Structure 1
Amino acid sequence: MTAFDSTKRHLGRGLFAHPLGVNCGAIGVSEDPQQTEVSDGHFLDGLRRAVELGATLFDTADCYGAGHAERMLGRLLREHPDQRLLTSSKVGRLRGSAPHAYAGRHIHHQFQQTLENLYTEELDLYTLDSWDFGPEDRYLGGAIEQMCALRDVGAVRAIGMRGPYVPYGATLAERDACAARFLHLFRLIRPNIVWTRFNALTPVITLEGEDLFAFTARYGAGVILAAPLAHGLLTGRAPRSTMLPPGSTVRPRGMTSLTSEKAARVTAGLQTLRVHFGNEPGTLTRLALLSCLQKADHCTAVVGFTSRAQLEESFGCLSGPALTTAELEVIEKAYAQVRDGIEQQSRRQMPQPVRS
């Protein structure tokens, strides 16, 4: 069998990254200062282990722990001054005292704070993390100008933008509207890299008749896939925090909006893969990660973690054989059935119009 190609992938603008990177979104989320201090050492150990496992791309944002994740990553970077680690951060969620997250020179101010947090003089990737540019896109032009200026002076090597995403149960019209909005912004921003939530459960969105991978390849843009394991759902060991109780609509930021009933449907659907590929520890994780990474050679995925063991399992998935074409067909068929079931259930649960 052919071994999985774990050599670095070119994302554009001279940025080469290991196929699997680390997302720092879980760092610093505790509201208990004492617990946060304990978690800091825990997460820093995880980041160190990721470097040992070969990770080169570390993805964060100014809104992750209100800058705390950036500061934690900065500690790691100071420990490896001679190692080429790629830093990726985002802007567009924190407004502070500005009238809007993209208003005036707010991007510049946030960028300077990000550099200070990371203890670095430049960023490899800086991403516009929101499609909200104010009423009638009032701040879009200024945001593009600031991002391009940062790239032109060498403070940022590549510009990113968030990719298209719709919730489960989205109608065809909602998907088309999402695609149209993304295409409009993509043509104006002209990003070097698209950062997007993507995994086997992600509703399919078509861009100019193509999927995201063919579209970005045609335009020469790299892709970073976030949440490839659907926050644990695709590993068969979903944490409770990713599931909502029946009737609940409130969820933690960044977590999937699956109810417990839909999560149970995912679990049942994964049984097909267990029967076909076996039930050894890490099997479902391997299938989820490789099915994403084998979509295209210009994409990488970033995984979150709450333990070193999770990182070791994820990176260990890349040391074996690649998935064959026949295996990918089996996997995609199983995932498609799960997606269809979730979407049908979501639509049935949507409020129906009142007939007069």
Structure 2
Amino acid sequence: MTASDLGLRHLCRGTLAHPLGIHCDIPTDHAIPDGLARASRFLAGLQRAVERGATFFDTADSYSYGHSERVLGQFGRQNPHLELQLSSKVGQIRGSAEHAYAGRHIHHQLEQTLENLYAEELHLYTLDSFDFGPNDRYLGNAIDCMRTLREVKAIRAIGMRGPCTHYAASPEEWAVQAERFLYLFRLIKPDVVWTRFNAFTPAVSLEGQDLFAFTARHGVGLVLAAPLAHGVLVGKGGESPSSRRAPVPLRGAGPMPWLRDRLDEQLRVLRHHFGDAPGTLSRVALRSFLQRGDQCVVVAGFSTAEQVDENFSCLGDPLTELELGIIDDVYAGLRAQVRDAALCMPVKELQS
């Protein structure tokens, strides 16, 4: 279904969200020299996002080991009149538990997340890993925990990750990920699928459909993260200060300069068709993803309030079918460049 406007969207049970949300991931204040200044800019960006109509704020306990949650919680404490739709994740931090999904660890992590966020409930809580231990030993426990949390209204909706591997993976590798996702999807029965999705993400077949058609058919919401590929799709070095992982390396020795030149060439094609005004490439990316389905919310990262302004102000009118076709062709070219680059560099450098 094609989105025709930017009104509130039904993401999941009890959640009508603005289609453009905020991805909240910032470095710890003690890990970088200007950490406190960046946290201040982050808070200013959150304020600007609310002024622009943002309702949905996405983070995780693993983002700087809870620091991102705490800064977002600080914003909530400073603005108690705001009804923020909060999303977080669990599954990357094991702590002293046997496994991230073992025993009551999910409950313990949620308690800490709620304390960090200064909140009584989450609108969305996502299982952030496909690793459920040897032979999926902790899968049943994780499912039971999440459903219990939903029943007692500590969370409103259960999320799970979408198929995920490095962007330069072979079709066979993506097929394995799709099969694993489908197996878990049928057991977990999530309300929402959370996934990193941008121009570098190849089409993955799920029961003969793409991710958008598949989730729509099952009545499941969709959260798309990293839509600007950490700034690569708008010709910048990074989407947010904490985004240390780009979909492709853009600088360095060997084939790096060649790859960067080819990516710039593809972006020039978009500028030729859509113009070179500020925010144009952001609009192309954000709008094209938002129009893939009415059940999806796109969460974009930022480092300044000005970036938030640009993302919200650039959306404009819907793209036409012709424009969407041009974008699809260019993005297919970008994916081809990544595949070519994969033949010349270690796979570990292409991890998403």
* Secondary structure class of the residue paired with 2:206: coil
Structure 1 unaligned spans of 5+: 243-250, 352-356
1:247 match: none
Letter in 1 for 2:77: R
1:246 match: none
Is residue 2:31 matched to residue 1:31?
A: yes
1:321 match: 317
Residue deviations 1:204-258, cap 9 Å, x none?
211111100000001110000000000000111223999xxxxxxxx97644343
Distance 1:29 1:142 in 2: 35
In the TM superposition, what are the counterparts of 1:331-350 in structure 2 within 5 Å? 331-349=327-345
In the TM superposition, what are the counterparts of 1:139-158 in structure 2 within 5 Å? 139-158=138-157
Shifted more, 69-78 versus 323-332: the winner is 69-78
Residue deviations 1:309-354, cap 9 Å, x none?
1111001122x21101111011111111121122123135469xxx
| Displacement of 1:286 | 0.6
Is residue 2:185 matched to residue 1:186?
A: yes
Confirm or deny: 8 A CA contact 2:239 2:302 kept in the other structure: no
Is residue 2:236 matched to residue 1:270?
A: no
Distance 2:128 2:185 in 1: 13
Confirm or deny: 8 A CA contact 1:29 1:65 kept in the other structure: no
* Secondary structure class of the residue paired with 2:87: strand
Distance 1:122 1:179 in 2: 31
Distance 1:168 1:116 in 2: 35
2:350 match: none
Structure 2 unaligned spans of 5+: 348-352
Shifted more, 221-230 versus 69-78: the winner is 69-78
TM-score of the superposition, structure 2-length normalised?
Answer: 0.91
Distance of aligned partners of 1:135 and 1:235 in 2 relative to their CA distance in 1, 3 Å threshold: same
2:111 match: 112
2:80 match: 81
Distance 1:85 1:309 in 2: 21
Distance 1:257 1:332 in 2: 19
Confirm or deny: 8 A CA contact 2:19 2:296 kept in the other structure: yes
In the TM superposition, what are the counterparts of 1:1-356 in structure 2 within 5 Å? 5-28=5-28, 31-32=31-32, 35-239=34-238, 254-260=245-251, 261=256, 262-318=259-315, 320-349=316-345
| Percent of aligned pairs sharing the same letter | 54
Letter in 1 for 2:317: P
Residue deviations 1:262-308, cap 9 Å, x none?
33322111111111111111111110110111100000100111111
Distance of aligned partners of 1:241 and 1:266 in 2 relative to their CA distance in 1, 3 Å threshold: farther
* Secondary structure class of the residue paired with 2:123: strand
| Displacement of 1:164 | 0.8
Distance of aligned partners of 1:29 and 1:147 in 2 relative to their CA distance in 1, 3 Å threshold: farther
